[in-house]
């Protein structure tokens, strides 16, 4: 039976390139595509792929938080992160979110088939370029986990923060997340209090630094 795969990347050219590569594999089938994080979660829930290949820097919902939701779906899909960055912050947070693999875009075409095969066996696949980053990260972990958006803010607060940083209005965020404007305002106030920040500009800079969005 063919491995069912979903591709999620906001660049159609990347999706087309990966599709062309994977369609040559007899045991692999592309069942869905998505161009943003929110749609990736929705599509994964509907199409039930075996493996989701996710760009980390997607709009509306970044690949890290999308991964966190996708791996909790009843059919337990595997997730492979796809990124331009070998930075330890991106790699470690993607793995903590539940991803089974992490490959760099500049090597994706050469490694993706191997990565998919590896994670379907229940193993973890990391591009050689990022494997050393992971080792170094674990070596430097102190007794107290460093403060970051992933330790200071809740999952919902990160969703709200990302959309604030991407310029969405309170009304638009409320509609996208299916919650009230008042609730969004409460989340924004709590985010500012937790981060000790007082302006959208500060929040935007922080969201970019933490890898929640790439503006």
Could you tell me if 67 and 169 lie in one domain?
Answer: no
Tokens of 68: 């966190």
Residue % of the chain over a pLDDT of 90: 74
Could you tell me if 59 and 108 lie in one domain?
Answer: yes
| CATH number of the CATH domain containing 19 | 3.40.50.2300
Q: How confident is the model at residue 44 (pLDDT cuts 50, 70, 90)?
A: very high
Q: What share of the chain is helix, strand, coil (3-state, %, to 5)?
A: 55, 15, 30
- The answer, yes or no, to whether residue 49 has pLDDT greater than 80, is yes
Could you tell me if 198 and 100 lie in one domain?
Answer: no
What is the per-residue pLDDT across 82-113, written as a single tens digit (0 to 9) for each?
998 887 778 888 999 999 999 998 887 778 99
Task: Out of 83, 117, 140, pick the residue that ends a domain.
Answer: 140
Mean pLDDT (the chain) is 90
Could you tell me if 23 and 98 lie in one domain?
Answer: yes
- Decide if 214 is inside a domain: no
3 state SS of 6: strand
The CA distance from 125 to 141, in Å, is 22
Residue 135: its pLDDT value, please?
67
Q: How confident is the model at residue 200 (pLDDT cuts 50, 70, 90)?
A: very high
- Decide if 107 is inside a domain: yes
Nearest by Cα to 87 from 113, 65, 64: 64
- The answer, yes or no, to whether residue 153 has pLDDT greater than 90, is yes
What is the per-residue pLDDT across 163-190, written as a single tens digit (0 to 9) for each?
999 999 999 999 999 999 999 999 999 9
Residue 19: its pLDDT value, please?
94
* pLDDT (average), residues 110-126: 93
Positive or negative, the CA dihedral 159, 36, 89, 80 is: positive
- Decide if 132 is inside a domain: yes
The CA distance from 133 to 121, in Å, is 23
Largest CA distance in the chain: 54
Positive or negative, the CA dihedral 9, 106, 114, 63 is: negative
Task: Out of 103, 123, 140, pick the residue that ends a domain.
Answer: 140
- Decide if 215 is inside a domain: no
Could you tell me if 136 and 153 lie in one domain?
Answer: no
- Decide if 15 is inside a domain: yes
Residue % of the chain over a pLDDT of 70: 93
Q: Give the residue numbers spanning the domain of 104.
A: 3-140
Residue 143: its pLDDT value, please?
43
Task: Out of 140, 167, 201, pick the residue that ends a domain.
Answer: 140
The CA distance from 94 to 212, in Å, is 11
How many domains does one find in the chain? 2
CA distances from 109 to 4, 55, 114, 127, 181 (A): 18, 14, 10, 12, 43
Could you tell me if 97 and 66 lie in one domain?
Answer: yes
Could you tell me if 51 and 105 lie in one domain?
Answer: yes
Q: How confident is the model at residue 139 (pLDDT cuts 50, 70, 90)?
A: low
């Amino acid at each position: 039976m063919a491995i069912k795969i979903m591709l999620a990347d906001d660049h159609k050219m990347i999706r087309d390139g990966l599709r062309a590569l994977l369609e040559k594999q007899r045991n692999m089938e592309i069942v869905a595509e998505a161009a943003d994080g929110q749609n990736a979660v929705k599509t994964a829930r509907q199409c039930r792929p075996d493996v989701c290949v996710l760009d980390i820097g997607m709009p509306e919902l970044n690949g890290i938080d999308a991964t966190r939701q996708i791996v909790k779906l009843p059919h337990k899909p595997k997730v492979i992160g796809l990124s331009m960055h070998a930075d330890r912050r991106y790699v470690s947070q993607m793995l903590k979110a539940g991803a089974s693999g992490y490959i760099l875009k500049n090597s994706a075409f050469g490694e993706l088939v191997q990565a998919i095969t590896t994670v379907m066996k229940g193993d973890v696949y990391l591009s050689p370029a990022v494997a050393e980053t992971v080792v170094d990260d674990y070596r430097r972990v102190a007794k107290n986990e460093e403060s970051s958006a992933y330790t200071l803010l809740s999952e919902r607060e990160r969703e709200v923060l990302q959309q604030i940083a991407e310029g969405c209005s309170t009304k638009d965020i409320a509609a996208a997340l299916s919650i009230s404007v008042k609730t969004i305002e409460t989340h924004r106030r709590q985010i500012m209090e937790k981060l000790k920040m007082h302006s959208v500009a500060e929040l935007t800079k922080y969201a970019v630094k933490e890898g929640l969005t790439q503006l």
